[in-house]
Structure 1
């Protein structure tokens, strides 16, 4: 069986790696010219995503991944826009989840795909040739055919749009910004406040700031320096700022580097954020600062992959585009890949047909997508609620009370 994967993001290279490992003929195509040409936040892989990865890649790749990942330990923190602690998340000491840099994960998976990953190839269309065989067409190369075509081409998926007859997601109402800040570039006070954990601050008027901590050198899951391949080589905060979508904030997406960084700081200052809470943005590497829109698919399982099962399908954000507010989008795409691989292995063994296998895969994917989208959209709706007159007033009134309660709990 020959499988063509359109898209070389996390889900695409995970699937291609698994197919290659199990002996399928596979070719994956991505328009990026470099594997490291990817941004966004760091990635959290829960136990389910890690189990899926073990089905997709060889043990030595998994070891290198764990040598480059950070184990979740300290409880998440919640702050207000003045930097006052409001509370903590659940105890993570027994949690099997790990954090890893997105670039590192994509690089390791691409290495597992090897020469079957073709970069710098832009897909222009998908469909069927005159014989009814799935076909992928390119802007600058001859078409290729396959027994199965899988779209792993993200929230703006050409493949999913072909299958659904239109977009599979819509803007969620939030514009996101991301960047990297070295721990050493922050004051001792801010280092102590932020700590070695993830945290989220939400203020009035729909402004929010997520801060994640990553130090695979000092706190790797697997203590094997010789296997470490992380692009993060020291204690680093990888942050994500969020603002409601509007003509003003949407215009920021056209800015780059230091210009974007300065404009973002201005937006948060105008919303009354304390200056010390913004140092994480102000001290970031300007070249790491980027902007993007949060898109989201429907939270209802029946709305996802709304097409008859066939020899063209899709996975990951192409089907269940998920805002990063749940930290589960990449993990879900990896689980999609492992599920599809299992179904295709049954086809190869002669125990089922390709159409039935794809149908089963898509049914499971709908449930996975609905689950993670429901979680992610809770935070999105919470952020957007503070952008109403009532929400802004309620946020301003309640956060001092919560901060006082948190301070009293610490004293006792």
Structure 2
């Protein structure tokens, strides 16, 4: 049915503009969102990304990080796929994205990934990366860029001890040595050992995955010619019997820059470098975690030699910068979405590893945290929902996304652990020569003539 509305007289008066009550409600919500104060606990990749996005959208935000220096961070490099980069573009200024790409190593410019056995024999290759938009970037580089975006809203050297949710009042964040801070929304981005998520869940949100990882950096130029040729300008993975595995990642933000803009480059890595990660079951490698430098390197080489790895495959470890070596435990959240963020949505939430702690075996943990941040910001900026509704929608999507990422990462973890059984070790030792022979046959058939 149509209604005929008489027009206003042209003379005498002017009709007031018609305002939709829903439009007015949306406007009020947007104004309230801009005024709301969001406190982010944790200044890792996810927390800084969220803080940067909130600040750009005009929210009042404060990010509290216990480290006193954003460059004092574990890990060496991380991968951002196309989805993670799209999310980051929602959070930071275009110039910051340009600086990131100028400091990143493009996956499309390196050779296809490789799979080897413990003797260094080629077993196969990964997919063609020619059309892959992913990048590898130093963790320190990304964290520094994000910290610059957050600016004065980043507060370093501040340790949070508790989040008081109250019964009806807004939450408050408590510190070891400072007055509490009130907030309209608190977001825990404080990693796998998150205080905020543990408080929300009433207990840990993840558990040890059964593997201890060891990482280090080795300049490509420090390796012998034979190993440079075998490893190539690619990333690769080798898994041997008894739960031993070695990942070798190739990083070259200068020669393989995703964006050719030397004036914007700020990468920590300035030349072709292998960023490697060794993995062993916690049952045999837990005792190595307190070690550092040369003693850690020697102990690590000893574990591989006990498992009869070829000496040349260990060169990347033996010639690593001893000061770069570090040990860390793999933690993993449940793989079922229903078990993630097991609390009712409210004015305190969490994201990233605080909810879906992910082993580095999928290379997707940081990207997932950035996507969490972008999604939360999107819901908070929606003028048609309350804060609690925005958090509810965010958490529903985060559970699905977190489940997918943890599931992918745990496939490799379970494969490594499966080789640490009698049957698994025997199967691995028997199958890898066959796979290597098949790889050599495929190579000969592909040769011209």
Instruction: Give the TM-score band, short-chain normalised.
Output: over 0.9
User: 1:183 offset after TM fit, Å?
Assistant: 0.4
User: 1:95 offset after TM fit, Å?
Assistant: 1.0
1:160 aligns with 2:193: no
Q: 1:181 is matched with which residue?
A: 218
Separation of aligned partners in 2, 1:261 and 1:43 = 22
Q: 2:10 is matched with which residue?
A: none
User: 1:6 offset after TM fit, Å?
Assistant: 0.4
Q: 1:2 is matched with which residue?
A: 37
1:207 aligns with 2:253: no
Whether the 8 Å contact between 1:45 and 1:99 is mirrored in structure 2 is yes
1:411 aligns with 2:448: no
SS of aligned partner of 2:249: strand
Q: 2:14 is matched with which residue?
A: none
Q: 2:390 is matched with which residue?
A: 357
| Number of corresponding residues | 408
- Unpaired segments of 5 or more residues in structure 1? none
Separation of aligned partners in 2, 1:188 and 1:115 = 48
Matches within 5 A, 1:125-274: 125-129=162-166, 132-246=169-283, 248-274=284-310
Q: 1:310 is matched with which residue?
A: 346
Deviations 1:127-156 (A, max 9, x none): 225762211111111111100000000000
Separation of aligned partners in 1, 2:74 and 2:195 = 21
- Unpaired segments of 5 or more residues in structure 2? 1-35
SS of aligned partner of 1:209: strand
Q: 2:59 is matched with which residue?
A: 24
Separation of aligned partners in 2, 1:403 and 1:141 = 61
Whether the 8 Å contact between 2:165 and 2:348 is mirrored in structure 1 is no
Deviations 1:187-243 (A, max 9, x none): 111111111111000000000000100111111010000000100011101011100
Deviations 1:340-395 (A, max 9, x none): 0001111xx3x110110000000000000011111101000000000000000000
Q: 2:6 is matched with which residue?
A: none
Separation of aligned partners in 1, 2:405 and 2:165 = 32
Identify the match of residue 417 of structure 2 among 368, 376, 384.
Answer: 384
SS of aligned partner of 1:243: strand
Q: 2:128 is matched with which residue?
A: 91
User: 1:175 offset after TM fit, Å?
Assistant: 0.3
Separation of aligned partners in 2, 1:281 and 1:107 = 28
Whether the 8 Å contact between 1:41 and 1:239 is mirrored in structure 2 is no
Whether the 8 Å contact between 1:41 and 1:240 is mirrored in structure 2 is no
User: 1:41 offset after TM fit, Å?
Assistant: 4.0
1:375 aligns with 2:408: yes
Whether the 8 Å contact between 2:118 and 2:309 is mirrored in structure 1 is yes
SS of aligned partner of 1:172: strand
User: 1:309 offset after TM fit, Å?
Assistant: 0.1
Q: 1:38 is matched with which residue?
A: 73
Separation of aligned partners in 2, 1:243 and 1:256 = 17
Separation of aligned partners in 2, 1:115 and 1:130 = 31
SS of aligned partner of 2:242: helix
My pick for the range that moved more, 306-315 or 192-201, is 192-201
Separation of aligned partners in 2, 1:132 and 1:75 = 55
SS of aligned partner of 2:313: helix
Identify the match of residue 339 of structure 1 among 375, 381, 386.
Answer: 375
User: 1:336 offset after TM fit, Å?
Assistant: 0.1
Separation of aligned partners in 2, 1:281 and 1:361 = 42
